Structure 1
């Protein structure tokens, strides 16, 4: 009496190896898709836009003005000079 493929004349070892390989490929693909989705940049989180070179210089000028190292006239003159170089 045959018991639905359990009689020893079924698929054989080759089919079991093929199924195991296909399962590994399937789950590897699922993991790859999940990793790629998690690693992609989200809106607004991409690489920062390059700042103009004068941005750092203006920040330093503002800090010096806040500490009282330069007066408003010197701040304005240097800021104007920086912006002219663009």
Structure 2
């Protein structure tokens, strides 16, 4: 028996502190994971739809951002629309 009449003595109190520290660390890790998961769901993270409509939207966005010029935009748009080259 321990000095106070309990069966665990100092060992029982020592393990409870270890458990408490692990619990707090686990909660902090859970909060960090949840914040990152919800922060990653921004408008820039949404995937484009697959298919002709998604490709056309991507082409329109690239043209609007100035990544491609008008001639390249027109050429690629004609290919997506299925029209023969002029």
The two structures have a TM-score, normalised by structure 2, of 0.49
| More helix as a share of residues | 2
Greater RCO (Cα-Cα under 8 Å, separation 6 or more) = 1
The two structures have a TM-score, normalised by structure 1, of 0.49
Q: Which has the larger radius of gyration?
A: 1
